[in-house]
Amino acid sequence: MKKLILLTLSVLSQYSFGQDNTLWQNSIPMTKVIEWRRHIHQNPELSFQENKTSKYVADVLKSFGNIQVKQITKTSVIGILKGNSPGKTVAFRADMDALPIQEETGLPYASVNANVSHACGHDSHTAMLLGTAYTLSKMQKNLKGTVIFIFQHAEEKIPGGALDMIKTGELDSIEAFFGLHVMPLPVGIIGILPNGPASTASDSFFLTITGKSSHGSMPHLGVDPIVTGAELVNNLQTIVSRNVQPGNLAVLTVGKFQSGNAPNVIPERAELAATIRTTDPETRKLMETRIKSIVENTIKTNNASYQLDYVLGYPPIYNDEKLNALAKASAIKATGLDNVVDSPSITASEDFSYYKKIAPVCFVLLGVGNDAVNHNSKFTIDESAFLNGIKTEVQIILDFLNQ
Ligand SMILES: [Zn+2]
Ligand SMILES: [Zn+2]
């Protein structure tokens, strides 16, 4: 989760601030939310392995007394809260998985699992949604419709957990999906993403270049995969600068380039891997076509051979215009005008995008401080932001059901 270029304060005078009943805000269980978050933070589990986390979440949900709890896949949980009167069905989704990163925060509740940590803040998503579920469970009497709390596994690992959950058919009755992600923004700020593409598609390639090993002093007898790879990395930079139409979002980052062990040996192979981010289908296809062509031609020119795996990842999130307007109004109602900003789309990707297969979706951001960036081993968050996160989640759900 990455970069926010520019934030502009919203001009939102069109929204009125009536005497909405926000007494429910007093029943948000902040102490508990922090306790849940720290427990999950300390005991992180990797994608598709969220066995203890899902059990913990299910137990907490059951303790609220009036939420039906189901484990519809091996390591995910849904909580169903039926209001006293019939109405629409809305879902809020949190993801629960951690990353293969050794935590270096020095926190007293830092991960006890080596090389696994909640460096993307999914611990806080889970804890906040539990807080939201608790708060709404106390309002069941006055609730119109059904709320489904989705605690999703495996957001961080392709093919992602969302598709597994969708395939069960258990989410088919949902009429709108909302989701929230913590971001390095000022604490407690709600970021409203644009209508339409709000995040990027995330594709990857994995490439092995095979040359011919030789003595470093006799390069003419070998085929150098390092020189070939270096040329390739540079050639790939021309796609964004020369082929993509200016204004269309495209990022290509070669994040892995490994080869060789000694200063005087031309190695046999080089391994490269890259991430590719786009928002529109045409640019996504263009990137794939140009990458494949440049890889083939550059490597051929250098008399090397190669194996290329091009992996299509998550599509972009398409924020529904109506849901986005509702989320913005709800966030302002719940947290105040000063706490809501318009955010540009993010160059991160999310399998939350897949829920659009069932119903319109809307994704919002929550600022948890600017100390560190998601996926960094020192990623920390300011827990005081949770209050605005939960207020916004509850208000969005209430407003959707009451509209
Ligand atoms: Zn992440
Ligand atoms: Zn994340």
Start-end of CATH 3.40.630.10 domains in the chain: 8-199+316-402
**CA 59 / ligand 2 centre spacing (Å):** 23
Does the pLDDT of residue 196 top 80, yes or no?
Answer: yes
Strand ranges in 260-304 using DSSP code E only, listed in sequence order: 265-266, 269-278
Q: How high is the pLDDT of residue 371?
A: 74
Percent of the chain past pLDDT 70, that is, above it, reads: 95
**CA 395 / ligand 1 centre spacing (Å):** 25
Q: Which ligand has the shortest distance to the CA of 94?
A: 2
Produce one character per residue of 97-120: b if its CB has 16 or more CB atoms within 10 Å, e if not: bbbebebebeeebbbeeeebbbbb
Burial class (CB in 10 A: 0-12, 13-18, 19+), 313: middle
State CA 351 to chain mean position distance.
Answer: 7
Question: What CATH architecture applies to the domain 201-311?
Answer: 2-Layer Sandwich (3.30)
Burial class (CB in 10 A: 0-12, 13-18, 19+), 171: buried
Q: Which ligand has the shortest distance to the CA of 101?
A: 1
212 touches 317 (CB < 8 A):
no
Average pLDDT over residues 136-150: 97
Query: What value does the mean pLDDT of the chain take?
Result: 94
Answer CATH for 8-199+316-402 from 1.20.120.420, 3.40.630.10, 1.10.1580.10, 3.50.50.60: 3.40.630.10
Distances (CA, A) of 62 to 8, 65, 66, 81: 41, 6, 7, 11
H helices of 88-150, in order, are 122-137
Query: Measuring CA to CA, which residue among 344, 205, 206 is closest to residue 277?
Result: 205
Average pLDDT over residues 252-275: 97
What phi and psi, each to the nearest 5 degrees, are found at residue 145?
105, -165
Characterize the bridge pairing of strands 214-215 and 265-266: antiparallel
In sequence order, which residues have a C-beta less than 8 Å from that of residue 58 and are 6 or more positions away? 69, 71, 77
**CA 99 / ligand 1 centre spacing (Å):** 8
Q: Which ligand has the shortest distance to the CA of 121?
A: 2
In sequence order, which residues have a C-beta less than 8 Å from that of residue 300 and are 6 or more positions away? none
Q: How high is the pLDDT of residue 373?
A: 86
Q: Which two tokens stand for residue 236?
A: 């790939």
CA–CA dist 401, 403 (Å, integer): 6
Express each pLDDT in 17-61 by its tens digit. Answer: 334 578 899 999 999 999 999 999 999 999 999 999 999 999 999
Does the pLDDT of residue 11 top 70, yes or no?
Answer: no
Express each pLDDT in 276-301 by its tens digit. Answer: 999 999 999 999 999 999 999 999 99
CA–CA dist 291, 289 (Å, integer): 6
Start-end of CATH 3.30.70.360 domains in the chain: 201-311
Q: How high is the pLDDT of residue 18?
A: 37
**CA 202 / ligand 2 centre spacing (Å):** 13
379: enclosing H helix or E strand: none
**CA 56 / ligand 1 centre spacing (Å):** 21
Produce one character per residue of 9-31: b if its CB has 16 or more CB atoms within 10 Å, e if not: ebeeeeeeeeeeeeebeeebbee
Q: How high is the pLDDT of residue 347?
A: 82
46: enclosing H helix or E strand: none
Q: Which two tokens stand for residue 302?
A: 């250098």
Q: How high is the pLDDT of residue 216?
A: 97
